[in-house]
Amino acid sequence: MPGVILVEDSPYEAALAYLALTQTTPSVIQASNLRKAARHARSARLAILGSRALACVSGREVRALGIPAVGIGVHLSTADKRRALAAGLCAVYTRPRRWRDYVALFEQIHHAVQA
Q: What are phi and psi of 57, to 5 degrees?
A: -70, 145
Q: Are 5 and 40 in contact (CB under 8 A)?
A: yes
Asked if pLDDT for residue 93 goes beyond 50, the answer is yes
Asked if pLDDT for residue 86 goes beyond 80, the answer is yes
Gap between the Cα atoms of 2 and 84, Å rounded: 25
pTM: 0.90
Gap between the Cα atoms of 87 and 78, Å rounded: 14
Question: Alpha-carbon torsion 65, 70, 74, 79, what sign?
Answer: positive
pLDDT at res. 112:
79
Gap between the Cα atoms of 39 and 80, Å rounded: 25
CB atoms near residue 80 (< 10 Å): 18
User: Which domains does the chain possess?
Assistant: 4-114 (3.40.50.2300)
Mean pLDDT of the 49-55 span: 91
Mean pLDDT of the 94-109 span: 93
Asked if pLDDT for residue 37 goes beyond 90, the answer is yes
